[in-house]
Amino acid sequence: MKKIGVLFGMENTFPGALVERINSMNLDGISAEFVQVGAVALDQPPEYAVIVDRISHDIPFYRAFLKHAALNGTTIINNPFWWSADDKFFNYSLAARLGVAVPPTVILPHKCYPAGTTDRSMRNLQYPLDWDAVFNYIGFPAFLKPVDGGGWRDVYHVHSPDDFFHAYDQSRDLCMTLQRAVHFNEYFRCYVVGQQRVHIMPYDPRRPYHERYLLDPPAYDKKLLKRVEKDAITLCRALGYDLNTVEFAVQDGIPYAIDFMNPAPDADLHSVGAANFEWIVGAVAELAVKKAQAGPKAAPLFRWSEFLGGSTPAKAPAKKKVSRKKPSVKQQKKTD
């Protein structure tokens, strides 16, 4: 029997619905349940063929357990090794390299020294920072947000240098990014499952939380939706995420990727709505079953380059063989 486990925290609707959906398929040799884990020994083999991870970003013990399970053959949705290393500024850099539109963005030094460091730890840091150059590049309004945050925690909408410094002073020892705000006409939040299925949800982050998913959206340009779908898949394939949400703010017909580091995206019935909930439960159930049936692949190389779209370190180019022409008859006679 191949077991699919769901690892979760305070969620109430999605984990249970996912387990129920998988078990309702009545597939031979496949069952789903909530993960049960205690102290984990080094020689303890994984109990699950697949684990859908919804909480390890908040619980270091769970993250260590998942890495151990992955090393021993369990498929984790999503890869706990890469998720541990990922950050939003890297995401923006990668998107720009891939040709996906992103707003101008900078990463900033910590306002307060990280724990265990002093001014002597910062001797490579430019001081004072050229704030005028930063503000000229980004412009206002802008968003100040953590490089590895989520759930709109510690996010500030700033409209001037004074606004910025007031917010920056509250950022403690967090590493922050500053990003130009997009004056959007349309906004989409997209579920991406299995790096190939995309569910585009019209969304408005300016509305109250429970009203952000639009129930009566206008008709959208089909070319715009095609580009949103294409860019969402491009990003998730490059990052290797099998479950993610990608958010696009559309200005003048251009979809700007705003947020796409959500490997445990919101899937609560009461926030996403019944139709979106039905889609995500079904899509993740099918993905988990597919991965369980496929079984463990060959042991991966645990290098960061392996986790980025399956890329491998570049090989040195093969040396070209130098072909030597045989001397002509005339040349032979001259040398004789």
Whether the per-residue pLDDT at 314 is higher than 60: the answer is: no
pTM beyond 0.75: the answer is: yes
pLDDT for the residue numbered 315: 45
pLDDT for the residue numbered 44: 87
Q: Which CATH number fits domain 2-85: 3.40.605.10, 3.40.50.1820, 3.40.50.20, 3.10.129.10?
A: 3.40.50.20
Query: 104-180 adopts what CATH topology?
Result: Dna Ligase; domain 1 (3.30.1490)
Whether the per-residue pLDDT at 331 is higher than 60: the answer is: no
Domain ranges in the chain are: 2-85, 87-101+182-262, 104-180
Whether the per-residue pLDDT at 285 is higher than 50: the answer is: yes
Nearest-angstrom CA–CA distance, 172 and 201: 34
Task: Express as a percent the part of the chain with pLDDT over 90.
Answer: 76
Whether the per-residue pLDDT at 92 is higher than 80: the answer is: yes
Pick the closest to residue 238 from 103, 99, 105, 95 (CA basis).
95
pLDDT for the residue numbered 190: 98
Whether the per-residue pLDDT at 214 is higher than 80: the answer is: yes
Task: Express as a percent the part of the chain with pLDDT over 70.
Answer: 88
- Domain 87-101+182-262 bears CATH identifier 2.60.40.3880: no
**Maximum mean pLDDT: which of 158-162, 307-311, 319-323:** 158-162
Pick the closest to residue 86 from 148, 4, 150, 24 (CA basis).
148
* Residue type for position 322: V
pLDDT for the residue numbered 301: 60
The token pair at 101 is 């539109």
pLDDT for the residue numbered 209: 82
Residue-wise pLDDT for 127-170, tens only, equals: 899 999 999 999 999 999 999 877 778 899 999 999 999 999 99
Whether the per-residue pLDDT at 36 is higher than 50: the answer is: yes
Residue-wise pLDDT for 179-209, tens only, equals: 999 999 999 999 999 999 999 999 999 898 8
Residue-wise pLDDT for 264-284, tens only, equals: 999 999 999 999 999 999 999
Pick the closest to residue 52 from 198, 196, 193, 259 (CA basis).
193
